[in-house]
Amino acid sequence: MERIEEKLKILADAAKYDVSCSSSGSKRKNTGGIGNASASGICHTYTEDGRCVSLLKILLTNHCIYDCAFCVSRKSNDVKRAAFTVEEVVDLTMNFYRRNYIEGLFLSSGIFKNADFTMERLMRIVKKLRLEEKYNGYIHLKTIPGASEELIKEAGLYVDRMSINLEMPTEAGLKMVAPEKDHESVKKPLAFVQNQIQEYKAESKLIKHTPQFVPAGQSTQMVIGATPETDLEIMNVAKTFYNDYKLKRVYYSGYIPINTENSLLPQVGSRPPLVRENRLYQTDWLLRFYDFNLDEILNPKHQQLDLDIDPKLSWALRNPQYFPIDINTADYKQIIRIPGVGRQSAMKIIQSRKFGRLSEYQVKKMGIAFNRARHFMRCADTPIILGSSSMEYVKQTILQRNSNKYLKETSSAQLTLF
Amino acid sequence: MNYIFDGTYNGFLCCVFEYFEYKDSNVQLQVEGDDDAQTALFDSSKTIITDISKVKRVQAGLQKHLGKSIAMDFFRVFLSEDRKAWAASFSIICQIFLGKTNILGNYGNEEVLYFKQTLKKVSRERHRMKAFIRFSRSSDGMFFAVVEPDFNVLPLIATFFKNRYADQKWLIYDVKRKYGLLYVKENVMEVKLSPEEKHALTTDTVITLDEKDEHFQNLWKRYYQSTNIEARRNMKLHLQYVPKRYWKYLVEKQ
C-alpha cells in the first residue's frame, strides 16, 4: 500500500465516528475559480452502513495529547499513528472535488502540542484551498477547544460550518470517561462563534459587501449509550444548546464500543444502540419542526423514549383526548400531530380539501402511514364508531400490522446496555 | 382525436395550442414513429407541426397563470418520458387555461396526484445525477462522465455543473439517449457523438486517462471503505440510497 493510501485509511478511520456529514445551509458562490455550495446539500454516495458520504472527512493527524476513554485516537490506545501534510490534504480535496466525488472537506484533528498549534495548522489547509486553489466548495472545520479567539475568528471567514462536540451529554458523564475535559470549554467557543455570526449579520444589513462568517452555522455531537444519561437528560441538553447557541444541528451518535480496558464503557462486541439513536433524532425533529414541547414527549414521569414505537405515536397514545382529528376541518398544527402524517402530507391535505371533503382513499395515496394514522384521524367517509377503542388495543393493532423492523432488535441487545 | 406530435416539449405545447384552436374532443397524444401512432392512422388523427410562435404563446400563457417556476414543472414532468404523465400534464394544462388555475393543489385528483408524483421522481433523478456523476480525467485535461439516468434529466443539471466546474473542460454523456453536455470556455452545448467517439467514451480503451486518474480512483475507493462503520452495517438502507442500477458508473462500487 502506498504511504498516502495508508494515511488515508488511518485518518479516515479515525474521523468516521464524527457523524455529521451535512453539506447544506451555505450559499457560497463560485467566484472565478472552482466549486460552490449547494443549499440543500448533496450526498455523493452512501457507505454500507447506510450513512451519507458528502464530505471527505479526515483527521489531519490522530496523534493526540488527550486520553479520552471513548475515543479511538486516545493517547493510550495502541493504534497506528499518521499525519497528513498540508499539501496532501489540499491535493486530495481538489482531486476528489474535481471528479465530483465529494461536496467538500470535513477537517478535524487530534490535538498535538497544544490547541493553537493544531488550529493554526488546520487554518493553513483552509486558507490554501480558498486562496491558492480558488476553491469555493464546502468546508466543515472542527473548532479546537482552547484555541485563541483570533484564530477562531479568522477561521470563520473561510469555512462554511464549524462544530465542537460535547462528547457526553452531561458534565458528570464526560468526567467519567474524559477527566481532562469539561463542557465549559465547548460552550465558550460556541458562544464566541455565535456572537460573531450575529455581528456579521447585523453588519450586512448596513454594509452591502460584508464577508460571510460561518454561513452554514454550528453543530455539535453527543455520544449516546456510553454513559448512563436518560433520554430526558439528553434532550434537555440538546434543547438548551439549540436555544443558547442557535445550533443548526445536534447529532446523537450511538456509542460503538472500541475500548477493551475501560470497565465503565459498554464492552466491545455489544451492539450500538441504533434504535435509541433513531428515537432521539425523531424527538429532535418533533421539537424543531412539529411544534412539540419537550415536556410533552419526555418528562419526569416518562424519562425514556419507547423503543418499539416512535415518539409521536407514544405521545398520541398517552393523550387520547386530542383524537380523532378531523382532517377536513383541523388546522395544520393539529394535523401534523397525527401519528403517521408528516409535514408534506399535511400541506397536501390542507391544499386539497379546498376542492372538496377528502375521503380515506384519497388521503391514503398522499403518502401518509395509513396503518398508524387511521386510529387518530377522521376523513369524510370514516364511519362513526360509538365508544373509542382503548389506546392499548390501538398500540397492539399497529404493532401487529407493522412487521416492525425495530421489534427484533429492541427485544434483544438494546436494553441489556443499561 | 389523436394528436401525433414530434415527441419534443415544444411539440407537446403545440398540441395544447391545437386543442384550443379546434376544440377537438377526447384528445389522445401520440408520438411520431411510436407503434401505437402507426395504428392510430386509421382512427381520426392529425399530425401536429411544431411551430415556435405557438410554443411561445402557450408558454407565456402558462407563465402568466402559474408563474415562471411552476410553469417549468411541466417541462420537468415531460422529461420523465412517461406517456401517462404526458396525458395527465395535457389534461391539467387544458383545465388551467379553462380557468381552473389552482388545480395543481388538488392532490385528491388522480391526474394531479400522478403529475406531482412524476415531478418528484424526476426531481429525485436530477438530484441523483448531481450526486452520482463521476468524472474521469483524460490526458488532455478533459473531465468526462457517462450516465444512464432513468429520466432525461441532463437539461436540468447543466447549470449546476456549469457553475460548479467553471474552470475545467467537462463532458457528461447520456448513453441511453445518445447525447451529451459539453462545457468549454463558459458555454454548455449539446453534443451528439460519432459511433467511434461513443465507443471510446464507454470502454475507456481509446481515451487515454490522465496518469494520475487511476491513483485518485484507488484513493477514493480506499476512503470509501475506511469511512464505513462495520458495526452499523445496514445493507437495506444502503441499497435504498444507492440502487444497484447506478453502481455501474460509481467508482467506489467497482
The pLDDT tens digits of the residues spanning B53-110 come to: 999 999 999 999 999 999 999 999 999 999 999 999 999 999 999 999 999 999 999 9
- Chain B nearest C-alpha distance from A117 (Å): 26
Q: Count CA within 13 A, CB hemisphere, residue B181.
A: 21
* Nearest C-alpha neighbor of B57 from the set B6, B14, B12: B14
Name residues 158-177 of chain B within 8 A of A (Cβ).
160, 163-168
How confident is the prediction along chain A (418 residues), in pLDDT tens digits per residue?
A: 789 999 999 999 999 999 888 999 999 999 989 999 999 999 999 999 999 999 999 999 999 999 999 999 999 999 999 999 999 999 999 999 999 999 999 999 999 999 999 999 999 999 999 999 999 999 999 999 999 999 999 999 999 999 999 999 999 999 999 999 999 999 999 999 999 999 999 988 888 788 899 999 999 999 999 999 999 999 999 999 999 999 999 999 999 998 888 888 888 888 899 999 999 999 999 999 999 999 999 999 999 999 999 999 999 999 999 999 999 999 999 999 999 999 999 999 999 999 999 999 999 999 999 999 999 999 999 887 766 678 888 898 888 876 655 555 544 444 444 3
Cell readout for A405 is: 423492523
Residue B147, phi then psi, degrees to nearest 5: -135, 165
Residue of A12, A33, A43 with shortest CB distance to B223: A12
Q: How many residues does chain B have?
A: 254
Element (H, E) at B55: helix B52-66
Helices (H), A257-359: 274-289, 294-297, 311-318, 332-335, 343-352
Residues of B in contact with A82 (CB under 8 A): none
Burial of B93 (C-beta count, 10 Å sphere; 0-12/13-18/19+)? buried
- Name residues whose C-beta falls within 8 Å of residue A336's C-beta, 6 or more positions apart in sequence: A290, A291, A342, A343, A346
Residue B30, phi then psi, degrees to nearest 5: -140, 150
At residue A244, the 3 state secondary structure works out as: helix
Residue of B160, B223, B233 with shortest CB distance to A48: B233
Output the 3-class SS for A46-81: ECCCCCEECEEEEECECCCCCCCCCCCCCCCCCCCC
Query: Quick check: A96 and B220 CB within 8 A?
Result: yes
Q: How many residues does chain A have?
A: 418
Residues of B in contact with A357 (CB under 8 A): none
Element (H, E) at B35: helix B35-40
CA distance A211 to A214: 10
Which pLDDT belongs to residue A416? 40
Which pLDDT belongs to residue A311? 97
CA distance A95 to A335: 48
Cell readout for B166 is: 467553471
Structure confidence at residue B211 as a pLDDT band (50, 70, 90): confident
Within A84-173, strands assigned E span 104-108, 138-142, 161-163
Please calculate the CA angle A19-A21-A25 and round it to the nearest 5 degrees.
Answer: 130
| pLDDT per position as a tens digit, B100-146 | 999 999 999 999 999 999 999 999 999 999 999 999 999 989 999 99
- Chain A nearest C-alpha distance from B5 (Å): 32
Residues of B in contact with A106 (CB under 8 A): none
Q: Which of B106, B114, B124, B219 to mutate to test the interface with A (most CBs of A within 10 A)?
A: B219
Please calculate the CA angle A62-A63-A67 and round it to the nearest 5 degrees.
Answer: 100
* Nearest C-alpha neighbor of B107 from the set A351, A367, A357, A364: A351
CA distance A247 to A250: 7
Q: Count CA within 13 A, CB hemisphere, residue A270.
A: 18
Q: Which residue has the higher pLDDT, B193 or A171?
A: A171
Name residues 114-153 of chain B within 8 A of A (Cβ).
127, 130-137, 143, 145
At residue B53, the 3 state secondary structure works out as: helix
- Chain A nearest C-alpha distance from B126 (Å): 11
Instruction: Give long-range contacts, CB 8 A cutoff, 24+ apart: B70-76.
Output: B70/B104, B73/B104, B73/B119, B75/B9, B76/B119, B76/B122, B76/B123, B76/B126, B76/B156
Position of cell 460573531? A196
In this prediction the ipTM stands at: 0.93
- Name residues whose C-beta falls within 8 Å of residue A46's C-beta, 6 or more positions apart in sequence: A52, A53, B237, B238, B241, B242
Name residues 9-48 of chain B within 8 A of A (Cβ).
none
Burial of B215 (C-beta count, 10 Å sphere; 0-12/13-18/19+)? middle
Q: Which of A10, A48, A88 to mutate to test the interface with B (most CBs of B within 10 A)?
A: A48
CA distance A139 to A137: 7
Residues of A in contact with B233 (CB under 8 A): 48-49
Residues of A in contact with B135 (CB under 8 A): 98-100
Average pLDDT taken over every residue of chain B: 92
- Chain A nearest C-alpha distance from B157 (Å): 13
Q: Which residue type sits at B157?
A: I
Which pLDDT belongs to residue A403? 60
> CB contact, 8 Å: A379 with chain B?
no
Which pLDDT belongs to residue A204? 85
At residue B235, the 3 state secondary structure works out as: helix
* Nearest C-alpha neighbor of B128 from the set A7, A120, A52: A52
Cell readout for B141 is: 485535461
> CB contact, 8 Å: A47 with chain B?
yes
Which pLDDT belongs to residue B197? 74
* Whole-prediction pTM: 0.93
* Nearest C-alpha neighbor of B69 from the set B107, B104, B19: B104
| CA–CA distances in Å: residue B153 to residues A10, B77, B185, B242 | 38, 10, 23, 18
Query: Quick check: B230 and A15 CB within 8 A?
Result: no
Query: Quick check: A271 and B241 CB within 8 A?
Result: no
Q: Which residue of B has its CA nearest to A256?
A: B231
